[in-house]
Amino acid sequence: MPPGSSASTTVPATEPSQQTPEVTGPPSKRQRQNFDSNTTPQRRQAACQPCRLRKIKCDKKRPACTICDAGGQDCKYLEDTVEKLTRKFEDLSSELASLRNLLQTQDQDQAEDASFKVSERMAAGHTSSSIDIASQAPQPQEPSRDFLQIPQHPASADTVLCWEIFEDRFPANALISSLFKPKLADMAEDVVAAPSRMMPLDEENIPVLIDKFLQNVHTKNPILDVESLVKHGRRCADQGIGWDGRSCLVLLACALGSIVKPFNRPIPQTAGIYFGKDESTGEPMASSSRMYAKELQQADSCFALACRRLGSLKYSLIGAQCHFFAGVFFQVHLRMTHGIAGDFEDALNAASSRSDFTTRKLKRLEQSLYWSAFKSECEFRVELPLQQSEISLGEYPDLFPSPPSPIPTNSSDDDGVTGGNNFASTEDLELRQHAVRLCNEEESWYYYLTEIALRRIGNRIVNTFFRQGRSAWMMNLKPLLRMAKEFEAQVSSWSAHLPPAMQHYETTSVIRAPNVGTTNHVTRELSWAVDNRLLEMQTWLYQPFLFYFIHVARPNLLRHISSDKSTEPRISSLLNSPPTTGTSADSLGSVNGVPELDNDEVELLHSLVASGIECCLKTIDVRSRGHRHHGLWYDLRSIMTASLVLLAIIKSGQAAWIPGGTDAVWGVTSQQYWPGNRDPIGGKIGKVLTQFEFWAEESPDLVRYKEILEHLVREVRGSTS
């Protein structure tokens, strides 16, 4: 057919089917699969268990299939795992949602109630460091069984200075701000880097310095292999000091042995009277830097030699031990910002990875090092605003370190601490006897376990009473009273049931007195340290109620006692008489909504307040001893806190609650007193000021402590005279 004819334009028969498709039959298998590709295929229902075991066909009827029903058998179906998990997940999600809604409802109610009740002065006039109840909603605590994490400096002296009784005159961190100034940090680093100030180390004195270290330092942190340290110290004395990790540890032990003093040799006691910077007594004030100049120079020289070896230490157990005792040296030397614990968790992980070669002794040393670093971090965070490290973010698998083995080893360990040479058993036995003679391992070990246990209880107290801030102390006092009574009983039980090795002292109230015949200064120091820890925990426990007593409790107590004087004559006799001028309208005592207390709660509050005042007085008496150890700076901080609390009590008009009154706090004053008078300051605070004066040249932040405390004493004394 010609190409130009009409037939040539005829569309082929296949084209219309592509333009107007028609379904003339069921789709093919491939088309059916493409069509149903978006639908989820359903699994076949499984047969019952009896039919599956007998491998027969099951009609899958519920609750019993036909075969099992006819045979009288127990028909069971395995529940689908996915459906079971999904159902449980939905149940848990619904329960969590209900709990979340309940917490949110409670938080909103408390926030609305608090914001409605707080006075206009507190809502508008206070800074961020003051109480702001409307913005401080209760926060859930971390679900840690031991409360490994604690808030930053919750009960420190800087926090007490921010109390409303001091009228917002001091900024946050007013006392510790000087520690973080660059100039002060540079001065502390110059001691390590200056060769002109170094004193040559007489290598023959190394064993003597190590013995002092073991007696006065290692007993409170038993994290070393004592025999290995003594053996390598003797080797350094004979052959010279090397450049390895063991030599670095020996130098750090020598540095600490040069600077520490036995517990029976405190600083020379003075009359405890502070005359002020404008008075002259004819003799210069005693200073630690001048009194111990030779010891400090020897210690700095040994530490400088150790620092030259610290940089070459890799992540290992002995490297972590060296860094830890370097931090201890800074604490003993009152350079707190340099004594912050380093990356102990990295060193511990590196050491623990060698599980095939880990011996029992190495495992014990790792455990002890972890808990020592944990205790150090807790001590820092109570006083300084430092970030939480990874040490307390995860729970260590061992609740307590393993006890040391009393059997001497006949060969060296494979832990990299004792070396790779074998020695005769007589030498090992002699080293063991020497170590036991220097430091009683039983007493040291029981002290160490007691410290760890008390630190956990102390962390629970801090988390319970200080996590939500001071707003909870006013608005939620009633439940805190009950919890405080439980904690008080727990602390008292610990104090009464100390391990046998710690029961060398007779308990007299809070602090212990030595038994007749107890002459071992190591035993006395360990028992003194345990009692200090118990006293510190009690101070944390009573501080919220002292705050309530100073700012809120007086009108509240007087209101309840006046309503029923016949039922509580003992409490009413101890209260001050009502003020003649009345309570100021803008004071915390006039804040509406403070929960009213019944007579039983008032009596319990009175008991806690009286115990808190007694703790403040005991703290100044015991912790102003002037004993140089790695907790000296914390002793000075604690007596500063106790002094500020006592001044706050006097400033609030409650001086009669203090045994001995104002004379016990700042001494007897002249009959005529006026602001600016330079009368000497005696009493408890006079003892505190002389301590600050003595240690100020080593720790310049103590100058600020002395200035603020002296100013407050003279101001409060002038207003009350």
Residue-averaged pLDDT of the chain? 72
Return the higher-pLDDT residue of 46 and 648. 648
673-692 pLDDT per residue, tens:
445 556 788 889 999 999 99
| Dihedral, CA of residue 538, residue 544, residue 547 and residue 552, to nearest 10 | -140
Q: pLDDT value at position 143?
A: 43
Four-way CATH pick for 49-77: 3.30.450, 4.10.240, 1.20.120, 3.40.50: 4.10.240
Among 208-222, 302-316, 350-364, 505-519, where is mean pLDDT lowest? 505-519
365-395 pLDDT per residue, tens:
888 888 888 888 888 888 888 777 777 666 6
* Tokens matching residue 54: 């007998």
pLDDT above 70: residue 297: yes
Q: List, as one string, the DSSP characters of 222-272.
A: --S-HHHHHHHHHHHHHH---SSHHHHHHHHHHHHHHH---TT--PPP---
Burial bucket for residue 670 (CB in 10 Å: 0-12, 13-18, 19+): exposed
Provide mean pLDDT across the span 85-105.
71
pLDDT above 60: residue 420: no
Find where tokens 């007897």 sit: 668
* Tokens matching residue 152: 């930053």
Instruction: Give the separation between CA 331 and CA 255, rounded to whole angstroms.
Output: 13
Q: pLDDT value at position 709?
A: 94
Instruction: Give the separation between CA 314 and CA 381, rounded to whole angstroms.
Output: 27
Q: pLDDT value at position 286?
A: 74
Helix axes 344-352, 317-332, angle to 10 degrees: 150
Could you give the 3-state DSSP secondary structure of residue 339?
A: coil
Amino acid occupying residue 432 = R
C-beta atoms surrounding 192 within 10 Å:
16
Q: Which residues pair with residue 506 across a beta bridge?
A: 513
Q: pLDDT value at position 541?
A: 94
- Percentage of residues of the chain with pLDDT beyond 90: 21
Q: Which residues pair with residue 508 across a beta bridge?
A: 511
Return the higher-pLDDT residue of 339 and 119. 339
Instruction: Give the separation between CA 717 and CA 674, rounded to whole angstroms.
Output: 9
- Contact, 620 vs 660, CB < 8 A? no
Question: What letter does residue 578 receive in the DSSP assignment?
Answer: P
| Backbone φ and ψ of 316, nearest 5° | -160, 170
Q: pLDDT value at position 639?
A: 95
- Contact, 691 vs 626, CB < 8 A? yes
pLDDT band at 23 (very low <50, low <70, confident <90, very high): very low
Question: What letter does residue 69 receive in the DSSP assignment?
Answer: H
Domain residue ranges of the chain, discontinuous segments joined by +: 49-77, 157-439, 471-576+585-720
Question: Among 157-166, 411-420, 490-499, which range has the highest average pLDDT?
Answer: 157-166
Among 2-6, 245-249, 321-325, where is mean pLDDT lowest? 2-6
474-486 pLDDT per residue, tens:
888 889 999 999 9
587-622 pLDDT per residue, tens:
333 345 567 788 888 899 999 999 999 999 999 999
Residue (of 174, 191, 176, 177) closest to 698 by Cα position: 191
Q: List, as one string, the DSSP characters of 661-695.
A: HHHHHH----SS--TT----B-HHHHHHHHHHHHH
Q: What is the largest CA-CA distance in the chain?
A: 142
Q: pLDDT value at position 435?
A: 75
Distance of CA 505 to the CA centre of its chain: 27
Q: pLDDT value at position 431?
A: 78
Cis ω on the peptide bond leading into residue 63 (within 30° of 0)?
Answer: yes
Q: pLDDT value at position 261?
A: 86
Instruction: Give the separation between CA 230 and CA 268, rounded to whole angstroms.
Output: 32
